[in-house]
Amino acid sequence: MEPAIETKLENFRIRFAERKDVPLILKFIKELAEYEKMLDEVVATEELLEESLFERRIAEVIIGEYQNKPVAFALFFHNFSTFLGRPGIYLEDLYVKPEMRGKGFGTAMLAYIAKLALERNCGRFEWSCLDWNEPAIQFYKNLGALPMDEWTVYRVHGEALNKLAKKFVEGSFR
């Protein structure tokens, strides 16, 4: 277990999540999904998170605590840039409880992940944002983040994912 990281913000620290934090992580995921009007899409369970985060170690989570109470979380993982020939960090989720926003906690969380990216010799730190989330868009732009307007995210999931995988199994590529 890595020690908590003290920040320059009074009474705010960042720490890596531990296995015992899985219920808290799921709670934060659901709060974020509710804010994004996507709660009905959350199928994650404590068991799935524990397997992915602590057994397979596919992603990492940091928890932001204010006055020793969890108020924020970020979930991220490594990707790879063939153009740079180096890994990057992709931020899947950043969430700060609504009543704790505007205090610098989100900036501290992002700055910490940026610091990790540099320490890990990553060439990029990226994330996606919903088009309608104007407060987040302005927040990111104020940090110097640039929207990648010329890129569109594509996703295959559910039945489409099954159908695509089946093409390989059956050898039907046309």
Residues annotated as catalytic are: 140
Closest CA to 95 of 84, 109, 81: 109
Under DSSP, the state recorded for 3 is P
In the sheet where 5-6 sits, what is the strand order? 5-6, 12-16, 60-66, 69-81, 86-96, 124-127
Residue 7 has which token pair? 């920040």
DSSP E strand boundaries for 42-156: 60-66, 69-81, 86-96, 124-127
Please give the torsion angle defined by the CA atoms of residues 145, 38, 47 and 154, in that order, rounded to the nearest 10 degrees. Answer: -60
For residue 49, give both structure tokens.
């998170």
CA distance 139 to 76: 19
Residue 77 corresponds to which amino acid? F
